[in-house]
């Protein structure tokens, strides 16, 4: 996905990135490539692939929720910062907590935060299941574990006003396998958005999960 296609696809989501935001994404990409030589951040390194499979893919969460309002967002197992850093660039109004279990990746995330001069965002070296229980408006994650495990990890953090929005690929088998967790933790699937990534046409599913009130 070249930059013009990237912009066009964002516009189809009613997102109109400023030049500053595009410059921040470019700097972010360069930092990923530089640090990837030292630590394992991603096996996807070609620029057009990163813009499609990491940047655009992260932003597709906007298909299921309006992120233009102030909100607190937890992104766990964030790795190189997907989707959290990308969302912070596109939606600077969000207050974001990034969580990763590897200190080296947290060091990278802090470098990105400082380099891009991002505010209201922090990176924690922690496992999500060990986090202090507090309210988040949105909890999200991408490419971390199967849905059953994700619900086990996050059940203490999901309250009746939290939206848990995992970004997944093919999900049907995982939904069937997670039936017990939905019952055990009093959760319900309130929305499922299925679509195909542009260009490569691989399937994506975004789930919106809430605790029953």
Number of folded domains that form the chain: 1
Residue with tokens 């309130």: 190
Task: Tell me the pLDDT band of 213, cut-offs 50, 70 and 90.
Answer: confident
Kindly report, residue by residue over 49-75, the tens digit of the pLDDT. 999 999 999 999 999 999 999 999 999
- Residues linked to residue 140 through DSSP beta bridges, in sequence order: 75, 165
What pLDDT is stored for residue 154 in this prediction?
A: 95
Task: Tell me the pLDDT band of 143, cut-offs 50, 70 and 90.
Answer: confident
Query: Computed from CA positions of residues 114, 122, 106, 81, in that sequence, does the dihedral angle turn out positive or negative?
Result: negative
What pLDDT is stored for residue 127 in this prediction?
A: 93
- Residues linked to residue 193 through DSSP beta bridges, in sequence order: 206
What pLDDT is stored for residue 39 in this prediction?
A: 94
Task: Tell me the pLDDT band of 7, cut-offs 50, 70 and 90.
Answer: very high
For strand 187-196 and strand 203-211, is the pairing parallel, antiparallel, or unpaired?
antiparallel
Q: State which residues form the domain around 30.
A: 3-211
pLDDT at 179 over 80: yes
Task: Tell me the pLDDT band of 144, cut-offs 50, 70 and 90.
Answer: confident
Q: Are 98 and 123 contacting, i.e. CB atoms less than 8 angstroms apart? A: yes
Closest CA to 140 of 172, 162, 113: 162
Pairwise CA distance, residues 191 & 208, whole Å: 5
pTM: 0.96
- CATH number of the domain residue 105 falls in: 3.40.50.150
Closest CA to 174 of 158, 151, 196, 141: 151
The fraction of the chain above a pLDDT of 70, given in percent, is 100
């Amino acid at each position: 996905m070249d930059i013009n296609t990237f912009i066009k696809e964002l516009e189809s989501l009613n997102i109109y990135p400023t030049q500053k935001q595009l410059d921040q994404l470019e700097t972010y990409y360069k930092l990923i490539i530089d640090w990837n030589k030292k630590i394992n951040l991603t096996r996807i390194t070609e620029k057009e692939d990163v813009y499609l499979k990491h940047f655009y893919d992260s932003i597709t969460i906007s298909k299921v929720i309006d992120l233009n309002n102030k909100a607190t967002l937890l992104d766990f197992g964030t790795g190189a910062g997907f989707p959290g850093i990308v969302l912070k660039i596109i939606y600077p109004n969000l207050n974001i907590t990034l969580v990763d279990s590897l200190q080296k990746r947290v060091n990278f995330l802090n470098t990105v935060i400082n380099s891009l001069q991002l505010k209201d965002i922090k990176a924690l070296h922690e496992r999500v299941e060990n986090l202090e229980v507090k309210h988040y408006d949105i909890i999200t994650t991408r490419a971390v574990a199967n849905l059953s495990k994700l619900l086990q990890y996050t059940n203490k953090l999901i309250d009746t006003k939290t939206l848990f929005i995992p970004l997944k690929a093919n999900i049907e088998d995982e939904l069937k396998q997670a039936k017990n967790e939905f019952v055990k933790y009093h959760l319900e699937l309130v929305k499922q958005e299925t679509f195909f990534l542009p260009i490569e046409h691989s399937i994506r599913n975004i789930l919106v999960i809430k605790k029953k009130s």
